[in-house]
Amino acid sequence: MPVLIFIDSAEGHVKKASLEALTYGADLATQLGTHAEGIVLGNMTEDISALGKYGVKKIHQVADASLDQFDSQTYCAIIAEAVKATGSDLLVLSNNVHGKAIAPRLSARLKAGLVAGAVAMADTSNGFIVKKSVFSGKAFAQVSIQTAIKIIAINPNSYKTVANEGTAELVPFAVTIPASKIKLLQVNKASGEVPLTEAEIVVSAGRGMKGPENWGMVEELAKTLHAATACSRPVADAHWRPHNEHVGQTGIAIAPNLYIAIGISGAIQHLAGVNRSKVIVVINKDAEAPFFKAADYGIVGDAFEVVPKLTEAIKKMKAS
């Protein structure tokens, strides 16, 4: 019985988070002595068979234009059919925006135990146990799945993508596509920028920046690092920055490889959204700022002096 991986895409492109899900699913299949297959919905502009390098042998595709728009209800119905058709008892997907809408639906439809927000490979030595993040990254839980069919939704940036050689066989999946009850009216996407939840590096700033007019240096640093920008809650509340940049307990939770926090005190609710970052750098003029306790590297200093210098130093390093 293969492990089935849902490959999420936007505008015909596979999302980075899905490459993580593919690697996870392929590794899990190896662990269980089986193989991995994928399913992709909608029309794709990139060559899907190339995803074979992440370990999938076969990819089922429903290349129907109606699926270019996302609807959890139709997606769930089709993926459930694919689970049945492939005889798969393990479904892996990213716990990203679409994953959060589909995985619970599939869980209810297939009566399949779901671990939403997995952060490590399943332990299949005794039962089936998956580690997930809880309490907004402040703790984890080992969750045991008791059902025959199991679903794992892995948190973005928590499993390392590995690419080897290989191409996947692309097979059309014949299925009746239910009519969607959701109509897409408009997409608003900041083009050219790195989406916050997919960014490897995030440069974030808080009330220490004094006002929106000072964000130029933050953006410059982010640009130099090909990073996404983020902010603390009061900054978004004061409309200094758009609300979709707000990270933390009540904002977006992220887990980049590097998080640079500038002029942010490090309140517990802020940390809840960023504490899964692999490396944290804090720049704050107050040596007592709580953020330093959660940091790996820090500079006690004035952001207005440190940030431009840091940008220059990075440019120099990249040029050398």
List binders of ligand FAD among 244-273 (CB under 6 A).
248-251, 263-265, 267, 269-270, 273
In this complex, which beta carbon is closest to ligand FAD, that of residue 169 or of residue 286?
Answer: 286
When CB distances are held under 5 to 8 angstroms depending on the partner's kind, the choice from another protein, ligand FAD, none that residue 207 binds is ligand FAD
Does 16 bind ligand FAD (CB under 6 A)? Our answer is no
Tell me the closest approach of the beta carbon of residue 190 to another protein, in angstroms: 6
Does 317 sit near another protein (CB under 8 A)?
Answer: yes
User: Contact between 303 and ligand FAD (CB under 6 A)?
Assistant: yes
Residue of 79, 122, 194, 222 interacting with another protein (CB under 8 A): 194
Q: Which of 44, 76, 118, 222 binds another protein (CB under 8 A)?
A: 76
Q: With H, G, I as helix, E, B as strand and everything else as coil, classify residue 270.
A: helix
Contacts of 162 (CB under 8 A, 6+ apart): 23, 27, 54, 55
Q: Is the dihedral of CA 198, 199, 200, 205 positive or negative?
A: negative
Count of beta carbons in the 10 Å neighbourhood of residue 300: 14
Question: Is the Cβ of residue 55 or residue 158 nearer to another protein in the bound state?
Answer: 158
At residue 221, what are phi and psi to the nearest 5 degrees? -60, -45
**Tokens 């609300």 found at:** 243
**Half-sphere exposure of residue 285: CA atoms within 13 angstroms, side-chain side:** 12
> What is the x/- site pattern for another protein, positions 88-127, by CB under 8 A?
-------xxx--xxxxxxxxxx-xxxxxxx----------
CA 133 to chain centre: 13
Which residues, 6 or more positions from 38, have their beta carbon under 8 angstroms from its beta carbon?
Answer: 4, 5, 6, 7, 22, 25, 51, 56, 58, 59, 60, 168
Q: Which of 32, 85, 120, 141 binds another protein (CB under 8 A)?
A: 141
User: Which one of another protein, ligand FAD, none interacts with residue 297, CB within 5 to 8 A by kind?
Assistant: another protein
**Rounded Cα distance, 48 and 76, in Å:** 21
Number of residues that bind another protein (CB under 8 A): 96
The binder of 273, among another protein, ligand FAD, none, by C-beta within 5 to 8 A per type, is ligand FAD
For residue 5, the tally of other CB atoms under 10 A from its CB is: 32
Name the residues that contact ligand FAD, by CB under 6 A.
Answer: 206-208, 232-235, 248-251, 263-265, 267, 269-270, 273, 283-286, 289, 302-304
